[in-house]
């Protein structure tokens, strides 16, 4: 039995290449006059997809037409496809086509024009055996069967960028591996570089006996094993192309002198611009794991049946379970749920265990947040308010649940909910036209923090589904996709979930910026009380570090929603910082409700010269004034635990080293206690 022949000229393309592409079809059976032919580029119409050609042959570039063996030109007409934004192309044969007589579909430059200047642009993503479909209907009545398929390999383009994936935290003299990716301008792996291309590796305090020189491998990537630093500090691995002089820097690495928790980068809410997670969840997971080098990822499909069918949910759960691998790639089963505006808002739910069912609003168990919270324990479910300041999907925090809502999304690609634009929000939620979502003060994160709602910060990525579906092609202002950093003991689902519960995390606008700070030994996300550290009433010593992927512009220390101190690093990408807040705690503490003690919250915001931002999770100090009897009991308890008898009335203060200088001031501060001691 004869078979039709389908082949492409050329047979492969480079990502983003502009050329004239020919799809040659030789039928195995005679095609009668009036036969309908329909051609499909299988493009989604995005900037990264195969360019959509014009059927108007008078255009000066990028057209599509059909040519018969005798040289006759046949124009196509566009056919709209209900389930897609891009058209298919159809024509009717004006004559009979004999067996073995080729039909050539040409997509590119008009006749007589330069293919590289007036041609059609290939997709910007690499793909093995990219399909183009040709449908044949010999009846001429639109009864198309299974398509004939053309295949073309899309390979990486010319070497443009070199990326280094390395751990963000390292320990002195402990070895780690580094992955080097050679990429084209679109982020695809490539080996398309001159044969004599040589890459030199270096970093701060480079050991003299380490002199790496790399060639570009056929695979487009290489693993460098057993690197280590023999001194604590901030490092950046640097790669230099010896042929062009170009220098490529990795994200910063902080090396600790002693054992320390690890820092993991990932995405709890977001979609890939390249691979749709609904159409190809496996490809999406591979993309984030292998190409983006994320340590963790959560699915985030919307709960509606229209967005996420039962079959799709089963596929998502199965793939999330299969990809979860300790110390390589941690995956969470998650979904998005959109509740009543203001009262519940939009949020991302994350399960900490496998085998969980999606909670749909139409089902009895998923109609309200209160019902959902009653069905789970905080160890099983994490509820993350998202896009809290976007009107129509906002969250007013009135029913904030501190057990389930341990972190809040301060940023995603559609803007920051930190505060309003008029309050100097550098990436506000806004639209450039009449359509779109505007900001609302009800969902302000700073406003919620001032009301004593305690949560850490995470960031979301790009999303074009559900409530965000009209944003991508609309007037909504779009920013870079964010990233979440989690500081945990190990890379496992349990450890990362525990770290999120402890608010041991921070958010960035997409760059792997390093940020850490502490007050009196308590790190970001933590809580301290003056009952345990009374010296904090007089002074709060804030110390930390920041490191960026480029030069730092400013480091802001924020107290109760207001910037109280700004550090301006000078021509450096990393900076240690310290600041003493010596304002009397009793005068700056915010009143809390429900008979809770007054409190103060701090957080640190870091901005790079290129505009990228990192927000450290807040740290809280409760202002608790002990009575004389409580102070004596505390003093006695300390004396027993330390086996030292109290010498003076002030021993119960247990000041930190940096607070000892204020000891006398601490005595004078409490008049009531002075009178009691007298």
Least confident of 161-175, 189-203, 322-336, 348-362: 189-203
User: Residue 648's pLDDT is what?
Assistant: 37
User: Which one, of 436, 421, 442, lies nearest residue 345 by Cα?
Assistant: 442
DSSP for 323-390, please give it.
H-BTTTBEEEEEEEEE-STBTT-EEEEEESSSSPPP--TTSGGGSSHHHHHHHS-TTTEEEEE-STTB
Band of pLDDT at residue 656, cut at 50, 70 and 90: very low
Least confident of 135-139, 205-209, 413-417: 205-209
Question: Considering just the CA atoms, what is the radius of gyration of the chain in Å?
Answer: 31
CA-to-CA dists, residue 18 to 15, 106, 155, angstroms: 9, 13, 13
Domain assignments of the chain as residue spans, ordered by start: 5-155, 161-260, 261-510, 516-678
Asked if residue 397 lies in contact with residue 448, where contact means CB atoms within 8 angstroms, the answer is: yes
pLDDT at 177 over 70: yes
**Omega prior to 179 cis, within 30 of 0:** no
User: Residue 642's pLDDT is what?
Assistant: 56
Q: CB within 8 A of 130, min separation 6: which ones?
A: 42, 123, 151, 152, 153, 154
CA-to-CA dists, residue 584 to 398, 534, 591, angstroms: 30, 12, 15
pLDDT in tens, 504-557: 999 999 999 999 999 999 999 999 999 999 999 999 999 999 999 999 999 999
Domain 5-155 has CATH 3.90.1170.10: no
User: Residue 79's pLDDT is what?
Assistant: 94
The yes-or-no answer to whether 261-510 and 516-678 have a common fold is: no
pLDDT at 660 over 70: no
The tokens describing 485, both together, are: 């950093």
Report the C-alpha gap between 123 and 127 in whole angstroms. 9
Domain 516-678 has CATH 2.60.40.10: yes
Q: CB within 8 A of 134, min separation 6: which ones?
A: 6, 23, 25, 37, 38, 39, 40, 105, 147, 148, 149, 150
Band of pLDDT at residue 626, cut at 50, 70 and 90: confident
User: Residue 652's pLDDT is what?
Assistant: 38
pLDDT in tens, 213-258: 889 999 999 999 989 999 999 999 999 999 899 999 999 999 999 9
pLDDT at 318 over 70: yes
Band of pLDDT at residue 411, cut at 50, 70 and 90: very high
User: Which one, of 173, 332, 146, 141, lies nearest residue 256 by Cα?
Assistant: 173
The tokens describing 286, both together, are: 């591979």
pLDDT at 575 over 50: yes
Domain 261-510 has CATH 3.20.20.140: yes
User: Residue 641's pLDDT is what?
Assistant: 54
Architecture of the domain whose range is 161-260: Sandwich (2.60)
Fill in the DSSP letter of residue 269. Answer: S
pLDDT in tens, 327-368: 999 999 999 999 999 999 999 999 999 988 999 999 999 999
pLDDT in tens, 68-79: 999 999 999 999
Asked if residue 412 lies in contact with residue 459, where contact means CB atoms within 8 angstroms, the answer is: yes
Is pTM beyond 0.85? Reply is yes
The tokens describing 164, both together, are: 């280094």
Band of pLDDT at residue 616, cut at 50, 70 and 90: very high
pLDDT at 205 over 90: no
Average pLDDT in the chain: 91
Percent above pLDDT 90 for the chain: 83
User: Which one, of 431, 454, 438, lies nearest residue 394 by Cα?
Assistant: 438
User: Residue 667's pLDDT is what?
Assistant: 34
User: Residue 434's pLDDT is what?
Assistant: 82
Pairing assessment for the beta strands 527-529 and 619-622 based on DSSP bridges: parallel
Which letter, b or e, does each residue of 1-13 get, where b requires 16 or more Cβ atoms within 10 Å of its Cβ?
Answer: eeeeebebeeeeb
The tokens describing 100, both together, are: 């073995």
pLDDT in tens, 12-33: 999 999 999 999 999 999 999 9
Asked if residue 14 lies in contact with residue 122, where contact means CB atoms within 8 angstroms, the answer is: yes
User: Residue 213's pLDDT is what?
Assistant: 86
Number of H helices, E strands in the chain: 10, 44
The tokens describing 672, both together, are: 């009531």
Least confident of 32-36, 617-621, 671-675: 671-675
């Amino acid at each position: 039995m004869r078979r039709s022949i389908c082949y492409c000229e050329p047979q492969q393309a480079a990502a983003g290449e502009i050329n004239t592409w020919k799809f040659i079809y030789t039928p195995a059976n005679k095609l009668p006059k009036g036969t309908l032919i329909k051609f499909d580029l299988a493009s989604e119409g995005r900037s990264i997809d195969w360019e959509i050609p014009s059927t108007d042959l008078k255009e000066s570039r990028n057209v599509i037409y059909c040519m018969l063996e005798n040289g006759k030109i046949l124009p196509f007409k566009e056919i709209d496809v209900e389930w897609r934004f891009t058209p298919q192309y159809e024509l009717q044969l004006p004559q009979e086509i004999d067996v073995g007589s080729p039909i050539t579909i040409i997509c590119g430059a008009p006749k007589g024009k330069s293919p590289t200047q007036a041609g059609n642009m290939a997709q910007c993503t690499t793909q093995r055996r990219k399909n183009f479909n040709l449908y044949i209907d010999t009846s001429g009545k639109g009864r198309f069967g299974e398509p004939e398929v053309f295949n073309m390999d899309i390979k990486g383009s010319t070497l443009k960028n070199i990326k280094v994936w390395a751990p963000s935290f390292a320990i002195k003299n402990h070895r780690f591996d580094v992955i080097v990716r050679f990429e084209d301008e679109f982020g695809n792996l490539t080996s398309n570089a001159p044969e004599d291309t040589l890459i030199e590796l270096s970093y701060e305090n480079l050991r003299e006996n380490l002199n790496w020189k790399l060639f570009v491998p056929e695979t487009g990537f290489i693993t460098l094993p057993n690197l280590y630093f023999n001194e604590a500090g901030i490092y950046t691995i640097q790669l230099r192309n010896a042929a062009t002089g170009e220098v490529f820097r990795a994200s910063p690495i902080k090396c600790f002198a002693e054992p320390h928790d690890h820092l993991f980068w990932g995405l709890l809410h977001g979609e890939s611009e390249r691979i749709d997670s609904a159409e190809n969840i496996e490809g999406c997971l591979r993309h984030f794991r292998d190409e983006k080098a994320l340590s963790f990822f959560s699915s985030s499909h919307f709960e509606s049946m229209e967005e996420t069918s039962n079959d799709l949910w089963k596929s998502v759960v199965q793939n999330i379970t299969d990809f979860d691998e300790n110390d390589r790639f941690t995956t969470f089963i998650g979904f998005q749920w959109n509740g009543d505006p203001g009262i519940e808002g939009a949020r991302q739910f994350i399960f900490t265990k496998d085998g969980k069912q999606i909670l749909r609003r139409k089902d009895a168990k998923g109609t309200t947040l209160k019902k959902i919270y009653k069905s789970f324990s905080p160890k099983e479910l994490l509820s993350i308010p998202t896009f809290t300041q976007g009107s129509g999907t906002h969250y007013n925090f009135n029913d904030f649940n501190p057990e389930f809502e341990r972190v809040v999304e301060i940023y995603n690609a559609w803007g920051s909910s930190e505060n309003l634009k008029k309050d100097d929000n550098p990436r506000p939620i806004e639209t450039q036209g009449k359509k779109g979502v505007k900001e609302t003060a009800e969902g302000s994160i700073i406003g919620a923090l001032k009301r004593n709602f305690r949560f850490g910060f995470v960031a979301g990525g790009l999303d074009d589904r559900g409530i965000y579906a009209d944003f991508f092609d609309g007037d909504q202002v779009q920013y870079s996709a964010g990233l979440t950093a989690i500081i945990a003991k190990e890379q496992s689902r349990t450890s990362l979930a525990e770290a999120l519960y402890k608010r041991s995390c921070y958010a960035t606008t997409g760059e792997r910026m390093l940020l850490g700070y502490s007050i009196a030994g308590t790190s970001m996300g933590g809580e301290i009380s003056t009952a345990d550290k009374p010296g904090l009433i007089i002074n709060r010593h804030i110390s930390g570090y920041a490191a960026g992927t480029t030069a730092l512009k400013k480091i802001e220390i924020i107290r109760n929603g207001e910037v109280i101190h700004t550090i301006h690093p000078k021509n450096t990408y990393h900076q240690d910082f310290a600041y003493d807040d010596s304002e009397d705690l009793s005068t700056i503490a915010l009143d809390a409700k429900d008979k809770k003690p007054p409190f103060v919250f701090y957080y640190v915001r870091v901005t790079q010269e290129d505009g990228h931002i990192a927000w450290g999770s807040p740290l809280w100090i409760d202002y608790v004034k002990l009575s004389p009897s409580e102070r004596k009991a505390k003093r006695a308890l300390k004396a027993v635990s330390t086996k030292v008898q109290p010498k003076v009335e002030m021993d119960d203060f247990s000041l930190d080293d940096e607070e000892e200088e204020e000891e006398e001031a601490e005595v004078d501060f409490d008049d009531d206690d002075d009178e009691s001691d007298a």
